[in-house]
Amino acid sequence: MLAILKALHLSKHEIRLIQPSTAEDNDWSKRLIETTSDTHGHAYLQHLRTIYDEWLSAGLIESDGHVLPECFTFPTATGKPLRAPKDAFARAGYYAFDMSSGIMSQSYQAIVASANLAWEGADMLVGFASGQVTEPDTVFALCRPPGHHCDGQRVGGYCYINNAALAVSTWRSTYPNSSIGILDIDFHHGNGTQEIFYDDPKVLYVSIHGEDEYPYYTGAEDEIGAGKGEGFNVNLPLKVGSSIENYLAKLDTGLKRLAEYKLEFLVVSLGFDTFHSDPLGSFQIHTEDYATIAARTRESLYGIPALILLEGGYVIDSLGANVLSFLDGWKSASGA
């Protein structure tokens, strides 16, 4: 995060620092639970808030520790819903789908700060959407932890609250029937975002991601949405090692779908783990390519209020330059 802020401070882009809300801020906690209740389980949010203290008081961990899940949920023949275990140790697995997303002493504070940022960013765009042209049409929220792997019921892939879903809820509180597009260009498939909106025709989810990569069980082209949401989930998997030319071809396909959808709000789930030397990704994308990706995106969807949410990206030394390249490309685009 510091690498990004340093690069931004040396650039001409406007930065607004938002004071992170703390876990002790009761107003925020109340707002968080209210706004996320349609996409995140109440018991799950409660788990995020209290489980560290429970583990600590049960003597399961030291103050710098966390519990690694032992047993995840799995399909059964009983037809009965799987209930949350009473045992605090076992709940680590009930509310997770992998072992990447521990909960430690400061975790909840960081989770709340990241979610708050997504919310504030979405809220800032409501002014522009309601015709106040002096308000910004784009906000880039530097959220960490990221969000797109969280399905609202469990942690995974370093994600705890789905920030894109939170943005959708924020916009819907003012514009309940708006059409919203989500362009997910993190290297990994946003299984959580897909899950949340799979049967929702008012959210078009488009993802470009590494084929057969993490989270392994989702992201295929034939996952097209269900029920009324059929046709509103677009997966564009791309072979590992793909060139920028191949990437841009997929991007054009995704942007065409989004442009046809006539959306009123856009979320870009932006991950820089598509960078060529990222330890968790494997596309051949370089710093200057982010400008091209950004410019094409904005040109296709010009004038639509856009919230860009930071997802992954793990080459810290290049993150600042990559973010700047994206922002420069975004700014250079015109509606022509």
Q: Which residues bind Zn ion (CB under 5 A)?
A: 186-188, 271, 273, 312
Instruction: Return the bridge partners of 209, or none.
Output: 237
Q: Which is nearer to Zn ion, 145 or 320 (CB)?
A: 145
Q: Which is nearer to Zn ion, 211 or 299 (CB)?
A: 211
How far apart are CB 212 and Zn ion at their closest, in Å?
Answer: 14
Residue nearest to Zn ion (CB): 312
How far apart are CB 259 and Zn ion at their closest, in Å?
Answer: 25
Q: Which is nearer to Zn ion, 195 or 273 (CB)?
A: 273
Q: Which is nearer to Zn ion, 147 or 305 (CB)?
A: 147
How far apart are CB 144 and Zn ion at their closest, in Å?
Answer: 12
Task: Tell me if 1 sits within 8 A of 144, measured CB to CB.
Answer: yes
Assess whether the previous peptide bond of 305 is cis (omega < 30° from 0): no
Q: Provide the strand spans (E) within 240-329.
A: 265-270, 306-310
Of the listed 40, 148, 149, 189, which one is catalytic? 149
Other beta carbons less than 10 A from residue 129's beta carbon: 17
Using the Cα atoms of residue 178, residue 179, residue 185 and residue 191 in order, give the sign of their dihedral: positive
Other beta carbons less than 10 A from residue 327's beta carbon: 21
Q: Which is nearer to Zn ion, 93 or 215 (CB)?
A: 215
d(CA 53, CA 255): 45
d(CA 242, CA 254): 17
Task: Quote the tokens at residue 154.
Answer: 């469990």
How far apart are CB 192 and Zn ion at their closest, in Å?
Answer: 12
Residue 149 annotated among the catalytic residues of the structure: yes
Q: Which is nearer to Zn ion, 98 or 137 (CB)?
A: 98
3 state SS of 275: strand
d(CA 106, CA 13): 30
How far apart are CB 274 and Zn ion at their closest, in Å?
Answer: 8
The residue whose two tokens read 């997910």 is: 184
Task: Tell me if 266 sits within 8 A of 181, measured CB to CB.
Answer: yes
Sheet holding 180-184, edge to edge: 138-141, 306-310, 265-270, 180-184, 203-210, 233-238
How far apart are CB 145 and Zn ion at their closest, in Å?
Answer: 12
Question: H/E element holding 112?
Answer: helix 107-129
Instruction: Return the bridge partners of 204, or none.
Output: 181
What residues act catalytically? 149
